[in-house]
Amino acid sequence: MPQHAIRLDGVEKSFGAVRALAGVDLVVAAGECLGLVGHNGAGKSTLMHVLSGNLTPSAGMLSIAGVPHSGSWTAAAAQAQGVRCVFQELSLCPNLTVAENVRIVHRSLKGFGWKPRARALISAKLDEIFPDHGIGPDDEIADLAIGQRQMAEIARAFTVTEGALRLVILDEPTSSLDAVTAQQLLAYVKKETARGTAIILISHLLGEILSTTDRIVVMKDGKTVADRKAAEFTRNSLVSAMGSEAREHTRGAAKNATGEVMVSAQPRSGGTASLQARRGEIIGLTGLAGHGQTRMLLQIYERRQAEVKGALAFIAGDRQSDGVFNLWSIGRNITTRSLAALRKGGFIDLGAEEKLAEAWKQRMAIRTPDVDNNILTLSGGNQQKALFARALASDAAIILMDDPMRGVDIGTKQEVYAMIRAEAEKGRTFIWYTTEIEELTHCDRAYVFRDGAIVASLGADELTEERVLQASFAEHAA
Partner 1 sequence: MNRRFLRQALPFLTLAVVLAATFYVQPRTMSYFGLNLMLQYAVPIALATIAQMFIITVNDLDLSIGPFVGLVSCVGATLLFENPALGVLVLLVLIAAYGAIGALIHLRNLPSIVVTLGLSFVWLGIAVMILPSPGGKAPDWLKALMTVQTPWVPFPIIAAIVIGVAVHLALMLSSYGVIARGAGGNPKALTRAGWSMLRTKVVMYMLAGLFGVLSGLALLGLTTSGDAHVADRYTLYSIAGVILGGGEFIGGRVSPLGAVVGALTLALAGSFLIFLKISPDWQIGAQGAILIIVLALRALVSYGEQKR
Binding site for partner 1 (CB under 8 A): 52-54, 74-80, 85, 87, 90-96, 100-101, 103-105, 109-111, 114-115, 140, 143
User: CB-wise, 109 or 357, nearer to partner 1?
Assistant: 109
**From the CA atom positions of the chain, what is the Rg in Å?**
25
> Based on CB atoms, which residue is closest to partner 1, 48 or 400?
48
Q: Choose among 337, 366, 373, 376: nearest CA to 353.
A: 337
Closest distance to partner 1 from the beta carbon of 92 (Å): 6
Where b means 16+ CB within 10 Å and e means fewer, 324-355 reads: beeeebbbbbbbebbeeebeeeeeeeeeebee
> Are the C-beta atoms of residues 319 and 412 closer than 8 Å to each other?
no
C-beta of 50 vs 206, nearer to partner 1: 50
SS3 336: helix
CA–CA separation, 238 vs 331, rounded Å?
49
Query: 91 or 240: whose CB is closer to partner 1?
Result: 91
Given the complex with partner 1, which of 161 and 274 has the nearer CB atom?
161
Report in angstroms how near the CB of residue 357 gets to partner 1 at its nearest: 32
Q: Which is nearer to partner 1, 92 or 446 (CB)?
A: 92
Give the count of alpha carbons within 13 A of 53, CB side only: 20
- Distance, in Å, from the CA atom of 225 to the CA atom of 134, rounded to the nearest integer, reads 42
Minimum Å gap between C-beta 115 and partner 1 is 7
Q: Are 286 and 467 in contact (CB under 8 A)?
A: no
Selection from 48, 98, 100, 97 nearest residue 75 by Cα = 48
Shortest reach from residue 337's CB to partner 1, in Å: 30
* Cα distance between residue 334 and residue 339, in whole Å: 10
DSSP state of 458: E
**Alpha-carbon distances of 156 from 30, 83, 100, 191, rounded to whole Å:** 20, 13, 11, 16
Q: How far is the CB of 78 from partner 1 (least distance, A)?
A: 7
Smallest gap from residue 62 Cβ to partner 1 (A): 16
Indicate the residue among 51 and 315 with the shorter CB distance to partner 1: 51
Least distance from partner 1 to the Cβ atom of residue 90, Å: 8
Min dist CB 53 to partner 1, Å, is: 7
> Residue 79 or residue 175: which is nearer to partner 1 going by CB?
79
DSSP H helical ranges for 328-409: 330-335, 350-364, 380-392
Q: How far is the CB of 226 from partner 1 (least distance, A)?
A: 29
- Closer by beta carbon to partner 1, 79 or else 335: 79
How far apart CA 454 and CA 271 sit, in angstroms, is 6
Question: Closest distance between partner 1 and the C-beta of residue 399, in Å?
Answer: 34
Q: How many CB atoms lie within 10 A of CB 64?
A: 19
* Rounded Cα gap, residues 51 and 75, in angstroms: 9
Pairing of strands 167-171, 198-202: parallel
Q: Which amino acid is at 230?
A: A
94 versus 459: smaller Cβ distance to partner 1 = 94
**Which of 419, 400, 417, 422 lies closest to 310 in space, CA to CA?**
400
Q: Distance between CA atoms of 107 and 104, rounded to whole angstroms?
A: 7
Q: Which CB, 77 or 376, lies closer to partner 1?
A: 77
Q: How far is the CB of 158 from partner 1 (least distance, A)?
A: 15
**One-letter amino acid of 273:** A
